[in-house]
Amino acid sequence: MKQAFSSSDRSLQSPGMGFEVAKRSLDIVGALVGIAILSPILLGCAVWIRLMDNGPVFYSQWRVGHNGWLFKIYKFRTMKTNAEKPGKAMWASARDPRVLRGCNWMRRSHVDELPQLWNILTGQMTLVGPRPERPEMLEELRSDIPHIERRLAGQPGLTGLAQVRHGYTNDLAGARRKLAFDLRYLRHRSVTSDLKLIFATLPKVWDGAAL
């Protein structure tokens, strides 16, 4: 693990130790409850992926975390093995031929993201916060979106204000809007707002626009 980016904006600092303790407690309880309740779905996804091409069930990617520290994020593998050329990050596209048969629903429902509950338990992520970006993509966006690294002032989350208000996107205009929502969340974060965003995420789980 290494630090690839950094953010020093004082206006985005944590509200304090009390908030951090309460937030961490919420993360641990939420992740454990989520794993327990969703275990049949998690097991079903793992079996299906294994049957599709006999490859690994999970895959990991480097992502940029709090204050620019890199960590490995875990997801269900919904694409064919070697879906990307070595060293080249690629956006997903509509009807992407790399997606395994029967796995589109995992992407649209974001079930493929649920292994990140492990990242939350280990403290690399939180339930609510800016979504973690790939270092290659973040570096590419820095030339078009100045100070995008300010979103790294908080831990990356499984869901967040940007996902609830704007949804997932993979274009430059969407990245700019997401940054605005991420910074708004960081400036006004609280345990109460986290709980509201968790409940607001539930009806938005199915994303027909997800790729």
pLDDT tens digits along 56-72: 999 999 999 999 999 99
Residues 211 and 208: their CA atoms lie apart, in Å, by: 8
Q: Please state whether beta strands 58-64 and 157-159 pair in parallel, antiparallel, or not at all (unpaired).
A: unpaired
3-state DSSP assignment of residue 56: coil
Structural domain spans, the chain: 10-204
Neighbours of 64 (CB within 10 A): 26
Kindly state the helix (H) or strand (E) to which residue 58 belongs, with its residue range: strand 58-64
122: closest CA among 159, 74, 163? 74
Q: Is the pLDDT of residue 117 over 70?
A: yes
Q: Is the pLDDT of residue 208 over 80?
A: no
55: closest CA among 73, 80, 76, 83? 80
Question: pTM for this one?
Answer: 0.84
Check residue 1 and give its pLDDT.
Answer: 58
The three-point CA angle 156-67-137 to 5° equals 65
- Please enumerate in sequence order all residues whose Cβ is within 8 A of that of 113, keeping only pairs 6 or more positions apart, or say none: 75, 158
Check residue 130 and give its pLDDT.
Answer: 95
User: What is the mean predicted confidence (pLDDT) over 81-85?
Assistant: 61
Check residue 203 and give its pLDDT.
Answer: 85
Contact 100, 49 (CB under 8 A): yes
Cα distances (Å, whole numbers) of residue 33 to 30, 36, 163, 167, 192: 5, 5, 22, 24, 19
For residue 110, what are the β-bridge partners? none
Cα distances (Å, whole numbers) of residue 66 to 29, 84, 114, 115, 173: 21, 26, 20, 19, 24
Q: Is the pLDDT of residue 9 over 70?
A: no
In eight-state DSSP terms, residue 109 is T
Check residue 33 and give its pLDDT.
Answer: 96
DSSP string, 128-197: ESPPPBPHHHHHHHHTTSTTGGGGGGS--EEE-HHHHHT----SHHHHHHHHHHHHHHHHH--HHHHHHH
pLDDT tens digits along 143-188: 899 889 999 999 999 999 998 988 777 788 888 999 999 999 999 9
Residues 75 and 82: their CA atoms lie apart, in Å, by: 15
